Structure 1
Amino acid sequence: MNKILLFAFFFMQTLINAQTSERNLSSEKWRFKNTKENNWLTASVPGTVHLDLMNNKIIPDPYKDENEKKVQWIENENWDYQTSFNITSKDLENQNIDLVFEGLDTFSEVYLNGILIQTTDNMFRKWTIPVKQYLKNGENILQVKFKSSLNAGKEFAKKVPFTMPESPRSFVRKAQYQFGWDWGPRLVTAGILKDVKLNFWNIARLDHVKIEQKILTKQKADLNIHAEIFATEEGKYSFSINGKSQNISLKSGLNLVSIPYQIQNPKFWQPNGWGKPNLYDLKITLKKIKKISMKNLKGSD
């Protein structure tokens, strides 16, 4: 049988443009400290407190010798992370500004200019926080205060009238291997483990796009493009896939849309050694359709 038919998979890359702009705050100058101390040290984002302590030569490499035993004190401490960034008057003209944490490990309080804007308790999710009302023209201070996950787990365990297996690790939404495994050391860490971003957007936001493959033959690939769109204004919008536009109606709030799309004579993806791993780019844009006033269409006698 032809190898192409055996491996008729269809892989795609997606490019999304929803009339938004993004700023990565991970590259700002971050600092961290033990909450019991006033000595701020240089931090890296993304990262963990163990790596930051190693980079500042506070602790030895826990993977060497018996150094694992020397760093167990870290899991009982609370840690503060902080940075500053500038916002311009032009930035503030955007209708919406979201602060996005792709991942925080694990229990934390997020402060912007001294105001508590979010508490977190889950390492495995993204946190999106509307922050325009808290931002100011000029310098802004962002702080993330981490609480010991070990101590937080112990507090949860006290509320249960029986003993849970693997307590207190079983009470926290956190990578369980950090509490020790047969193949790795016990390093119960904390920190900003993924990127931090500011998203600026107006009218509507294209959040998620999923590509469903319905039919794939040598002649055609029939797809459904599923998208989650959050709109602040209801009305008609233009949803474009690689320049092919279709008008859709959106309500105010969350919208789920599905748009059919077809590719003629698709080139199949092939695994290593079987052929070329062909990929397709999809550029998706979303635009608000402006209403035309009828009085502007009137001609003169």
Structure 2
Amino acid sequence: MNVTVAAPQNCAVTLTSTPASPTAGQPVTLTATVTCGGAPVPGATVLFSTTAGPLGTGVTNASGVAGVTTSTLPAGANVVTATVIAATSTCACVGATATATVTVGAAPNCAITLTSTPASPSAGQPVTVTATVTCGGAPVAGASVLFSTTGGPLGIGITNASGQAGVTTSTLPAGTTTVTATVTSANTTCTCTGVSGTGTVTVGGTTGFTAQPACYRLNVPPLPWAFAQATFSASGATPGAVVTFHLGGPSGPVVCTAIANASGNASCTATLNVGQVLFGTYTATTPAASGGTLSSSSTLAICLT
């Protein structure tokens, strides 16, 4: 009698990875499929590893598929091995392996660039410093950026959808100042926190445009909406130019405007309400002859005489 013995069924392991082109730090999912004679092997334990060590284990499902996800693969070509370490099957699956090469690209760089406007400010003139934060060239929104000089912080801004944040300051001295923008927090695939960029701002000498101290006199009776009268004045403006007087800083509420006379002097009187007298300072602004805006600040207090 002849007995025909069939060849033993083969246990096969295949290994794939997604995404196709990951970058360093990006999660990569490794998937092993274990089959016996072409049929899935459920319940098999699969060890995933590289030459650097194990990445994790997975147990095959009803389709014979097991997987792990890792973010630890370094940039470059990584040979990953999937090894069956336990299985119940008619095949001899334990020890069966498969390999795949996962090529990981370098992590995208976090970059910060700085610009400032106006291009040629004068001392005391507001300067806006803008930082643009990008990750691999794409804007990073919602990042906190600290602006500072060697003299101390200038302020904090939050990047918008274009990756831009800015601060405006009138405190930069005459001369060249290096401004540093440092990301203090960010939610991005790049490592942006702690990354900084620098830019220089060259501030010219004083323009001679000067706001004079102002004082207010209480009305009689001092009604809440007409609490006091104050006269604001500035010198050094371009003759014929409009001078605008703001409570607080240059973006504060406007109380009055005046036209500079032939000597560059301008003044106007405004009625202040009970809240406005509490500002304590005011700022005069006027167009600069060379472009941009000049500003100067001074005090606002009750008249003592």
* TM-score (normalised: structure 1): 0.24
Larger radius of gyration: 2
Greater relative contact order: 1 or 2 (C-alpha under 8 angstroms, separation 6 or more)? 1
Q: Which has the higher strand share?
A: 2
TM-score with structure 2 length normalisation?
Answer: 0.24
